[in-house]
Amino acid sequence: MAIVEQIDAPAGARRRLRISSPVTREAVGEIDVQTAQDVGAALEIARKAQPAWAALSFGERARYVTRALHVLLDRHEEFIDVVVRETGKTRLEALYMEIFASCDALQYYAKRTAKILRDRPQRMHLLSLMKQLRIVYRPLGVVGIITPWNGPFILSLNPTVQALMAGNAVLLKPSEVTPYSGRLVADLFEAAGLPDGVLQVLLGDGETGQALTESDLNKISFTGSVETGRKVAEACARQLMPCTLELGGKDPMIVCRDADLERAASGALFGAFMNTGQVCCSIERVYVAEEVADEFIAKVVEKTQQLRQGANGEADIGAIFRPEQLELIERHVEDARAKGARILAGGRRNPDLEGLFYEPTVLTDVTHEMAIMRDETFGPVLPIMRVRDEEEALRLANDTRYGLSGTVWTRDKHRGVELAKRLDVGSVCVNETEMIYGVTEAPFGGLKQSGIGQVNGEAGLRGYCYAQPILVDRFGAKREQAWYPFTAKKERTMKRIMRLLWGTPLGRWMS
Ligand code: NAD
């Protein structure tokens, strides 16, 4: 049974989907797939609502966002219930990843947007005597936000808050696998009293997402797979609509010979198995220096065997959110096994649990001929490869079409940073699992096929704006030197200025 199933609907009616729990396999609910017509109607409402929203001060917008934060603090248990019901995450995981991180995003942008996006005077290197320049951050208009199922609340809420604080209206399309977690974002802001039409959630699958990318929006902020990201980029390119693409990864972990192996082994587990490995920046492959490989692997296996799996109580590892993902994980592990990999832990569905549970898995003797080292697995699977030295680790780590993030583990922090600079990825952590998405100040994004553009922090917030420079003349002279009429005298003066500015030490200092 699929977790998302299409239900027969009468001819001419909207398509309808049934969503089921990956843990109990019981129905969670049914949704109508919203069509291009629905998207068009929502866009019309958003266009009408946006100017009044943009006319509010940052402080006024922040008051709604702060109210949303208080609603979340009050009702977080109820929100966790919704997320857990349709994802099979453990409750603590939902608290960490979805609620805690969302509270931080709400507070961060409510408190700091005014400072980051305020109109600012900009000194000019040449013209300051005669002109004044201001940079004004104007909202783009109506932004479409399309999100995946693995962090269904935080990945919907975080870009939404940024787009709203910047003065945009938002059409949010959460994943069809987790529509109720996505809809919580609208519930939250409705409870906070957000004016009607400023944020609308459209439920549905690829049909709804595609309709958004083909609408007359002002930007698409997309988070999801490389395959869909490419379609979104093509649709946006056709209408010259800006987009950011936050896509998949195959993130490497490099364990140097001088690493603290106890910390590195615990970090490998958390980095690879958090959210059941369904995190874009999960550790997906490990390169460990030969001298310490045996000790590191032994620690990883021992710790993996202690992990508790289940959906309730104090379980560490939850469910796989959908059967297609479980099948892909099985394919990767079987491909590796068939090509000579050794499975040191897990390597199968959990026979003691009824839902979609795959045991946390550790493999060695893996090579780059195996899908498990090349393609995104997105599951609780940790393949470990021995390498001669850091040079070989770097070469293999960069031997991929992905470039989202990576980690380096060494007691020499300086060398760690130097190695980090040579990883061809969007962000790196040294002696820490990849947590940059949760560091609100840090721009987050991917290189190569892992994406285009960056989200979060100042850069992310400004990505929801158009930076408009406004130049104002200071003195109101009747005519400028460069204006008509063109004369030989003006030509001589211009040449003298050029020589002064770029041909003399004084000029070079001034310019
Ligand atoms: P997906 O690409 O299948 O779906 C993402 C969203 O796109 C869903 O809402 C889906 O309905 C919609 N969609 C499908 N077809 C569309 C189309 N033609 N046009 C527009 N929208 C369409 O991805 P997924 O399986 O939901 O998510 C998992 C992927 O997301 C993984 O690859 C993961 O690495 C990636 N991801 C990336 C980040 C990041 O920040 N880089 C974060 C989380 C997840």
Q: What's residue 1's pLDDT?
A: 47
Tell me the longest C-alpha to C-alpha distance in the chain: 91
Determine if ligand 1 sits within 6 Å of the CB of residue 205. yes
Per-residue pLDDT for 486 more than 60? yes
d(CA 44, CA 35): 14
Q: Name the residue at shortest CA distance from atom 9 of ligand 1.
A: 175
Q: Which atom of ligand 1 is least distant from the CA of 404? A: 41
Q: CA 106, 30, 36, 46 torsion: positive or negative? A: negative
60 is catalytic: no
Q: Which amino acid, 80?
A: I
Catalytic, out of 86, 176, 246, 284: 246
d(CA 457, CA 445): 12
Q: CA 210, 214, 216, 220 torsion: positive or negative? A: positive
d(CA 429, CA 447): 16
Give the tens place of pLDDT for each residue, 75-124: 999 999 999 999 999 999 999 999 999 999 999 999 999 999 999 999 99
Q: Which atom of ligand 1 is least distant from the CA of 248? A: 34
Looking at 239-387, list the stretches that DSSP marks H as alpha helix, in order from N- to C-terminal side: 261-273, 290-305, 323-338, 371-374
Give the tens place of pLDDT for each residue, 197-256: 999 999 999 999 999 999 999 999 999 999 999 999 999 999 999 999 999 999 999 999
SS3 98: helix
Task: Encode burial over 242-260: b for 16+ CB neighbours within 10 A, e otherwise.
Answer: bbbbbbbbbbbbbbbbebe
Q: What's residue 314's pLDDT?
A: 86
Per-residue pLDDT for 367 more than 80? yes
Determine if ligand 1 sits within 6 Å of the CB of residue 248. yes
Determine if ligand 1 sits within 6 Å of the CB of residue 221. no
SS3 271: helix
Q: Indicate the fold that domain 3-247+457-466 takes in CATH.
A: Aldehyde Dehydrogenase; Chain A, domain 1 (3.40.605)
Compute the distance from residue 500 Cα to the ligand 1 centre, in Å.
Answer: 56
Catalytic, out of 280, 281, 429, 465: 280
Compute the distance from residue 131 Cα to the ligand 1 centre, in Å.
Answer: 47
Give the tens place of pLDDT for each residue, 124-154: 999 989 999 999 999 999 999 999 999 999 9
Q: Which atom of ligand 1 is least distant from the CA of 235? A: 19
Compute the distance from residue 223 Cα to the ligand 1 centre, in Å.
Answer: 5
Q: Name the residue at shortest CA distance from atom 23 of ligand 1.
A: 224
Determine if ligand 1 sits within 6 Å of the CB of residue 36. no
Mean pLDDT score across all residues of the chain: 97
Q: Which atom of ligand 1 is least distant from the CA of 176? A: 11
Average pLDDT over residues 56-77: 98
Please state, for a pLDDT cut of 90, what percent of the chain lies above it.
Answer: 96
Average pLDDT over residues 7-24: 91
d(CA 76, CA 371): 39
Instruction: Mark residue 365 as left, alpha or beta (left: phi above 0; alpha: psi -120 to 50; beta: remaining).
Output: left
d(CA 50, CA 385): 52
**Residue-by-residue DSSP string for 198-216:** SEEE---SHHHHHHHHTS-
Q: Which residue has the tokens 């079987």?
A: 334
Determine if ligand 1 sits within 6 Å of the CB of residue 121. no
Structure tokens at 216: 């007359």
Q: Which atom of ligand 1 is least distant from the CA of 451? A: 41
Q: Which atom of ligand 1 is least distant from the CA of 224? A: 30
Determine if ligand 1 sits within 6 Å of the CB of residue 232. yes
Q: Which residue has the tokens 């299409």?
A: 6
Compute the distance from residue 447 Cα to the ligand 1 centre, in Å.
Answer: 17
The set of residues, in sequence order, having a beta carbon less than 8 Å from that of 193 and lying 6+ positions away, is 64, 67
Q: What's residue 319's pLDDT?
A: 95
Pick from 89, 220, 222, 223 the residue to mutate for probing ligand 1's pocket: most ligand atoms within 8 Å of its CB. Answer: 223
Q: What's residue 4's pLDDT?
A: 95
Q: Name the residue at shortest CA distance from atom 8 of ligand 1.
A: 175
Q: List, in sequence order, every beta strand (DSSP E) within 40-130.
A: 120-121
Compute the distance from residue 147 Cα to the ligand 1 centre, in Å.
Answer: 6
Give the tens place of pLDDT for each residue, 394-425: 999 999 999 999 999 999 999 999 999 999 99
Nearest alpha-carbon partner for 317 in 253, 362, 261, 383:
362
Nearest alpha-carbon partner for 257 in 224, 288, 286:
288
- Contact call for residues 343 and 362 (beta carbons, < 8 A): yes
Pick from 146, 147, 230, 439 the residue to mutate for probing ligand 1's pocket: most ligand atoms within 8 Å of its CB. Answer: 146
Average pLDDT over residues 62-84: 98
d(CA 300, CA 383): 11
Q: Name the residue at shortest CA distance from atom 42 of ligand 1.
A: 280
Compute the distance from residue 162 Cα to the ligand 1 centre, in Å.
Answer: 19
Compute the distance from residue 394 Cα to the ligand 1 centre, in Å.
Answer: 28
With bands split at pLDDT 50, 70 and 90, how would you rate the model's confidence at 2?
low
Compute the distance from residue 228 Cα to the ligand 1 centre, in Å.
Answer: 6
Compute the distance from residue 224 Cα to the ligand 1 centre, in Å.
Answer: 2
Nearest alpha-carbon partner for 417 in 406, 425, 429:
429
The set of residues, in sequence order, having a beta carbon less than 8 Å from that of 511 and lying 6+ positions away, is 125, 126, 501, 502
- Alpha-carbon 245 to chain mean position: 8
| Domain positions in the chain | 3-247+457-466, 251-440, 478-510
Q: Which CATH class is domain 251-440?
A: alpha beta
Q: Running DSSP on this structure, what letter comes out for residue 192? A: T
Q: Which atom of ligand 1 is least distant from the CA of 212? A: 20
Determine if ligand 1 sits within 6 Å of the CB of residue 178. no
Average pLDDT over residues 29-35: 97
Exposed / middle / buried, residue 96 (Cβ in 10 Å: 0-12, 13-18, 19+):
middle
Per-residue pLDDT for 3 more than 90? no
The set of residues, in sequence order, having a beta carbon less than 8 Å from that of 432 and lying 6+ positions away, is 267, 407
281 is catalytic: no
